Amino acid sequence: EVQLVESGGALVQPGGSLRLSCVASGFTFSDSWMTWVRQAPGKGLEWVANINQDGSQRYYVDSVRGRFTISRDNAKNSLCLQMNSLRAEDTAVYYCVIGGGYWWGQGTLVTVSS
């Protein structure tokens, strides 16, 4: 069974940093593009970043480029999102997603507030 388990969400002050993790199982992680998608409270879905199979290609939505870094460790079947210079508008549930949406984790809540 495919599983994506996110962790690392927390309450953080504006300007702070946070590192989200996603541990994958039940599929060949190293063969898959991986994606982070976020959803602000009561709002719609927003694609944040994705990374190709070997980590050589990484793409970001404009609003996080330069502040967020997506990475992966295929030996550990894990995906990460390093988030720096956090803003109130980054408050959201962050989902770990396989490729273009094949499977979603349960999400982890990031709250940026003083």
Tokens standing for residue 19: 């590192």
Q: Are 97 and 105 in contact (CB under 8 A)?
A: yes
Q: Is 27 in the site for another protein (CB under 8 A)?
A: no
Tell me the CB-side half-sphere exposure of residue 41, using CA atoms within 13 A.
Answer: 7
Tell me which stretch binds another protein (CB under 8 A): 9-17, 22-30, 55-63, 73-81.
55-63
Q: Is 28 in the site for another protein (CB under 8 A)?
A: no
Tokens standing for residue 63: 């609003």
Where do the DSSP E strands lie in 13-107? Answer: 18-25, 34-39, 45-51, 58-60, 68-73, 78-83, 92-98
Shortest distance, CB of residue 104 to another protein, whole angstroms? 4
Site string for another protein, 75-104 (x = CB under 8 A): --------------------x----xxxxx
Shortest distance, CB of residue 4 to another protein, whole angstroms? 9
In the bound state with another protein, the residue whose beta carbon lies nearer, of 17 and 63, is 63
Shortest distance, CB of residue 44 to another protein, whole angstroms? 5
What's the rounded Cα separation, in Å, for the pair 86 and 26?
Answer: 32
Q: What residues make contact with another protein under the rule CB under 8 A?
A: 35, 44-47, 50, 59-62, 95, 100-107
